[in-house]
Amino acid sequence: MSGTDQLRRALSASDFTIAAEVEMVPTRPGTRALRRDPQTPTQIEVEVGPSERAMVLIEGAGGVYAWTYPQQAGQPSRQRAGAQVLVFPLTAGTRGSARGVPTASGKRGPVLDWVSDKLIDPVRAYVLKFVARTAIDAATDYIEGDREEGIVTIAGLDPAAWTPVQSARPRLPQDRPLKILLMVHGTFSSTASGFAQLAGSESGHAFLSKANEHYDAVLGFDHKTLAATPRENAAALVAALQALGIPENSSIDAIAHSRGGLVYRVAESLLADERPDIRLGKAIFVGCTNAGTHLAEPDNWAAMIDLYTNGIMAGVRAVSFLAGGAVLSPIVAQGIKTVGRFVQAFSEVAIDERGVPGLAAMRPTSDLVKELNGAAGPLEKLAAYYAITSNFVAQVAPGKGVTKEFADFIADRVTNRLFQLDNDLVVDTASMTSFGTRTSRLADDATFAFGNTDDVFHTTYFATEVVPSKLSKWLGLGALRLDSIPEQIDLQQAPPRRSRRGAASIVETPFETTLATDDVESPRSDSMSDTLTLRRTRTRGTASAAPAEPREAPAAGEAPSASTSPGSRTAACYFAAEIESHPPPKKPVPLFVTVSRQKIQAAENPASAALDAPVNVDTARAIVVEVIARKNCRVIGETSAELDMPRDQRAESLRFVVEGAAEGAADILVEARQGPRILASFALAPVFVDADSKTLRRSQVGLAMAAHPDEPAVLRIYEIVESGKVTLRFDLACVDPNIAVSESRTLPSGFSRDVYVSEIFKGIESSWLATNRLYDQFLSRLQANGIVMANELLPDKVREALWAHRDAIRAIQVISEEPFIPWELLYINDRKSGPDGKGFLAEWGLIRWLHSTPWPGPQLAMRNDRINYVIPAYLDPGLRLEGADAERQMLAKLFGSPREVTPDSLSVARFLQKDAGECDVLHFACHGEAAQRAVMTADLLMTGTNVDGSFAQDPLSADQVKVAARFAESGPRPTIFINACQTGRAGRGIGGGVAGFVDAFLRPYSELGAGALVGALWSVDDKLAYSFAEAFYRSLKEGDALVDAVRTAREAAKNRKELTWLAYSVYGNPFARVSDTP
């Protein structure tokens, strides 16, 4: 899920209604986006009801965010048609302020003024409405009113489970002293959001695993950080620990972040008094407010809100690649939710430190800070202190979340006006190690300082590799064994890297820090120097509009590089792909592809997709990921990259860059594969358009293709539309024989596929319907046409590779959304040796499937009690089928007592919706029509009715099937056989995808489609079609694979000189078989 999409979700969770998203663009190139005219300032007007209020959140260029408030005294809001109109000025001179918090005289306003002064690129404004709460108590109680408080068990690697509700209350052993690790979160946070980043890096995973092995319990404590003071939080924490029944002489270590440091320091004093038997071991303070923070001063609250919002979103940009977004949701959700609710209260009532005592307690001059740092008394009962600090110095590094605009914002807002001292954007660096009279608890060597860094700020400590390593070292957990660390260690020479076909090795700006050798254990190094330099050096494949270089098959005798070794093992992996759902056109937009050993949650929008079920990945082979821009966009840079299978619980991500050509819907295909086998395929549909526009199409579910020892040659055909030109790209791959060829062919601008294909079918249908006496002559002409088609459409290297390996290729799987061309009729031969060849591709065992459609399993079912047919007895004599009775008898002979579905459109639609879950075969024998130029009107004609002596047709449309079809949720998917004319052709629908019965049966809206489909490409004689269907069913029942059953059926018809042997198009898994025990 992209940061923008997470922001929208978090805003909704804050009980904001996103009334509008407004794009503000320059009036002409080179001018300012927000024109500053003192006479008529740029502003947004929002109508609100009697109990409504509104805010505007501005998103500036480079990901800078600012909250702005409605105009206040001196410039009253207006009334419009009975509704109040709130005015949000967007200039420094007239900007609104929070109630009771005027902008300081003589100073520039908060972030929005900076945006107005400096912004050139477009910005987005989120217009947010919320319910008014005018009472101070009601407003402040609401901020954290639904926060679940209590002990949290941190037992796994899924931060979503780190909540008081989701985690089981720990049952602690009572027969021995225990070791407990306590983790205390900070402001605007929770256990899940505060420490989620540990679940997003390999060192974080290793630390969590070691901690759970070393300690009897790893616990968090969720608490309110605004409405309650740290003293109240600490009392509740100690009471919750006491309720667990901690045995005598147990020990407690702690990790605290931000305000959590104050909570822990109060709690340790209480524990020292109430439970002197408990040993307080080590306490690690990470970016803590030990001497307070200037942001807690009421005059700085508006700045604090903007800083926290920017810190959260910049943190998302900085760490999203570590876990592919998997751990970011709790960070954004909890952080923005609490900030958003605070904004609502802050903007409506004159709250002060009494209204948010938890915030006021962090003031450097607060009573709590003075008391903790001036406390007298024995210190030996307290924990040994450790601290991690940083001073963030903004350097432009987009890969780390720091854009130029964000860096300017930090320099302008933080360095120049707020802190004027070293800080991590929220806390003064000096405050992090200021313990007053308790300073002696902090040893000289117990502080790790990042120093001046452009990598680490307040919300990203736990996203680094070094912090988990320091935690592990200080807590005595031992060195973290990270399998990938040797690839990250720079020992004065670059580590070896995998060569990447079709992808440049692009190394991001490295993250560097020194790390003691005992922090990390390297499985490949026997000895090392005193310090190592760790580099975050993830290689990203970015993308290009140019096709990949052709890859030819190796010469005879060479080892096939992509073949699967007999002893290779497999592992289950999940795949996901995402891009921002509504990005601006003509700007680079990142697209992330993630591979993980754990399930990945994807956003429910057309620009994000993930596999619901894992797919087996061969650990001995690299995973190739490719991004193909098919409509209204292009890929910048390389289009493909390789990565290895992620180890253990780690997620691996690749970053590509896409640019929209113009406003409107785009179509992006993302595929992951090993050799010819597709592991996952996603169709993403971002919309490059103003924010209030709607997505034009829904996303497709992922495709998981199971491995098979007899993997077919796979011919993937992509249609790419760019600048009005249509390019067909062909990828031919096979394991045995080893084939790897990729080439493209751009169709000439004057070439009309509609006319081209229409003429083919027109000739076939007219000749077939006219006579059967010219079979040999017509077949010769069809063969000549097939050779011409192959030479015209297939790039030379693809056609030559097919011919060179013709005897070894058992089947061809065509995976395509190219909707018109009858690939079955292409004829492959050696042009220099005459017309004779192996035959039409239909004879090679060509089986089709659709891009971005769940891959059908290896099993088909044909249980006698689940065979259904639709064979109308037409009332109109002109439509009666002479062979209808023969097909009924054929089905009865093969399956016993097949069930008839009443052949009217309503009954068939009802069957597909209600009873198709118990269907193995659905056989149609009827009239059908799917005209080449009107595929959206594709119909299967049912029995019809007699109305006042006239016959009225009753068509079943592809739309009805797509809406109603709902086959089995588990087990083998059914086989659909349509013996009718022109029903096997897929065509273009309004939305740009395939249409007709192929799409309707394989990709219904229920996402419970068929597993195999057979349909005619042109009109077939109902009497002659009988032999094809009978041979097809009989072969499957005898145990043949789908590809062999189709080949047998074609041969049966061919031997009788019936042109039906070439008429059928077949979709499915080539090696699927009928199973007796589905």
Confidence class for position 130, pLDDT limits 50, 70, 90: confident
Which token pair is 640? 């493909």
Confidence class for position 166, pLDDT limits 50, 70, 90: low
Domain 575-707 has CATH 2.60.40.10: yes
Give me the sign of the Cα torsion angle 898, 901, 903, 905. Answer: negative
pLDDT of residue 969: 86
The answer on pLDDT for 452 being more than 50 is yes
pLDDT of residue 960: 94
Three-state DSSP at 335 gives helix
Are 32 and 632 in contact, with CB atoms under 8 Å apart?
Answer: no
Confidence class for position 103, pLDDT limits 50, 70, 90: very low
| DSSP assignment of 986-1049 | -EE-TTSSEEHHHHHHHS-TTS---SEEEEESS---HHHHHHHHHHHHHHHHTT--HHHHHHHH
Report d(CA 720, CA 722) in Å as an integer: 6
Using CB atoms within 10 Å of the CB of residue 877, give its burial: 0 to 12 exposed, 13 to 18 middle, 19+ buried. exposed
pLDDT of residue 303: 73
Report d(CA 161, CA 167) in Å as an integer: 6
Q: What is the mean pLDDT of residues 166-186?
A: 88
Are 785 and 778 in contact, with CB atoms under 8 Å apart?
Answer: no
Could you give the C-alpha distances from 466 to 207, 450, 463, 517, 846, in angstroms and in order?
A: 11, 10, 9, 12, 54
The answer on pLDDT for 254 being more than 80 is yes
Query: What is the distance of C-alpha 449 from the center of its chain?
Result: 35
Q: How many CB atoms lie within 10 A of CB 152?
A: 27
Pairing of strands 955-957, 570-579: unpaired
Question: What does the DSSP 8-state code read for residue 646?
Answer: P
1029 vs 932 pLDDT, higher one? 1029
Instruction: For domain 856-1074, give the CATH number.
Output: 3.40.50.1460
Residues 6+ apart with CB under 8 A from 800: none
Q: Does a cis peptide bond (omega within 30 degrees of 0) precede residue 737?
A: yes
Residue type, 299: D
Are 631 and 665 in contact, with CB atoms under 8 Å apart?
Answer: yes
pLDDT of residue 742: 80
Question: What does the DSSP 8-state code read for residue 323?
Answer: H
Residues 6+ apart with CB under 8 A from 396: 402, 403, 404, 407
Domain 146-293+356-392+422-478 has CATH 3.20.20.140: no
Q: Which of 54, 99, 50 is nearest to 79 (CA)?
A: 50
Confidence class for position 530, pLDDT limits 50, 70, 90: very low
Give pTM, 2 decimals.
0.47
Beta bridge pairs of residue 591? 579, 656
Q: Strands (DSSP E) along 599-724, which ranges?
A: 608-610, 615-618, 623-631, 633-636, 640-643, 651-660, 664-665, 667-674, 677-684, 687-688, 713-722
Phi first, then psi: give them for residue 179, nearest 5 degrees. Answer: -110, 125
Report d(CA 498, CA 918) in Å as an integer: 49
pLDDT of residue 918: 93
**Can you tell me which residue has the tokens 């004689």?**
1021
Q: Which of 195, 226, 192 is nearest to 301 (CA)?
A: 226
**Can you tell me which residue has the tokens 């198009």?**
1065
Report d(CA 804, CA 808) in Å as an integer: 9
- 146-293+356-392+422-478 and 856-1074 agree in CATH topology: yes
Q: What is the mean pLDDT of residues 235-242?
A: 95
Report d(CA 104, CA 89) in Å as an integer: 17
Report d(CA 970, CA 1011) in Å as an integer: 12
Most confident stretch, 266-275, 504-513, 545-554, 941-950: 266-275
Are 924 and 900 in contact, with CB atoms under 8 Å apart?
Answer: no
In degrees, rounded to 5, the angle at the alpha carbon of residue 211 between the alpha carbons of residues 208 and 212 is 90
Domain locations along the chain: 3-132, 146-293+356-392+422-478, 485-539, 575-707, 856-1074
Pairing of strands 739-746, 615-618: unpaired
Judged by average pLDDT, the poorest of 390-404, 946-960, 992-1006 is 390-404
pLDDT of residue 354: 61
Q: Which of 708, 560, 823, 619 is nearest to 1072 (CA)?
A: 708
Q: Dump pLDDT digits (tens) for 1012-1038.
A: 999 877 666 666 578 889 999 999 999
The answer on pLDDT for 844 being more than 60 is yes
Confidence class for position 163, pLDDT limits 50, 70, 90: confident
SS3 per residue for 21-66: EEEECCCCCCCCCCCCCCCCCCEEEEEECCCEEEEEEEEECCCEEE
Q: What is the mean pLDDT of residues 45-68?
A: 80
Report d(CA 874, CA 860) in Å as an integer: 32
Q: How many CB atoms lie within 10 A of CB 827?
A: 23
pLDDT of residue 862: 94
Confidence class for position 519, pLDDT limits 50, 70, 90: very low
Question: What does the DSSP 8-state code read for residue 382?
Answer: S
Confidence class for position 111, pLDDT limits 50, 70, 90: very low
Q: Dump pLDDT digits (tens) for 290-336.
A: 999 888 887 777 777 777 777 777 666 554 433 334 444 455 556 67
Judged by average pLDDT, the poorest of 236-240, 599-603, 991-995 is 991-995
Question: What does the DSSP 8-state code read for residue 232?
Answer: H
Judged by average pLDDT, the poorest of 76-80, 146-150, 538-542, 643-647 is 538-542
The answer on pLDDT for 887 being more than 80 is yes
Summary mean pLDDT of the chain? 74
Residues 6+ apart with CB under 8 A from 298: 101, 352, 353, 360
The answer on pLDDT for 393 being more than 80 is no
Report d(CA 867, CA 848) in Å as an integer: 24
Query: In which element (H, E) is residue 754 found?
Result: helix 753-770
Are 842 and 825 in contact, with CB atoms under 8 Å apart?
Answer: yes
Report d(CA 791, CA 566) in Å as an integer: 38
The answer on pLDDT for 604 being more than 80 is no
Report d(CA 799, CA 791) in Å as an integer: 8
pLDDT of residue 665: 76
Q: What is the mean pLDDT of residues 615-624?
A: 89
Q: What is the mean pLDDT of residues 784-809?
A: 87
Report d(CA 193, CA 339) in Å as an integer: 13
Confidence class for position 927, pLDDT limits 50, 70, 90: confident
Query: Dihedral angle at the C-alpha atoms of 627, 633, 635, 639, nearest 10 degrees?
Result: 30
Most confident stretch, 176-185, 472-481, 595-604: 176-185
| DSSP assignment of 944-994 | -EEETTEEE--EEEHHHHHHH----SSSPPPEEEEESSSTT--EE-TTSSE
Q: What is the mean pLDDT of residues 752-768?
A: 70
Give me the sign of the Cα torsion angle 439, 445, 446, 448. Answer: positive
Report d(CA 655, CA 105) in Å as an integer: 46
The answer on pLDDT for 102 being more than 60 is no
Q: Which of 808, 740, 706, 806 is nearest to 560 (CA)?
A: 740
Judged by average pLDDT, the poorest of 114-118, 183-187, 259-263, 366-370 is 114-118
SS3 content of the chain, % helix, strand, coil (to 5): 30, 25, 45
The answer on pLDDT for 711 being more than 70 is no
Report d(CA 95, CA 70) in Å as an integer: 8
pLDDT of residue 889: 92
Are 66 and 111 in contact, with CB atoms under 8 Å apart?
Answer: yes
Report d(CA 57, CA 3) in Å as an integer: 15
Which token pair is 997? 């019965």
Which token pair is 682? 């996603």
Pairing of strands 713-722, 687-688: unpaired
Report d(CA 590, CA 601) in Å as an integer: 19
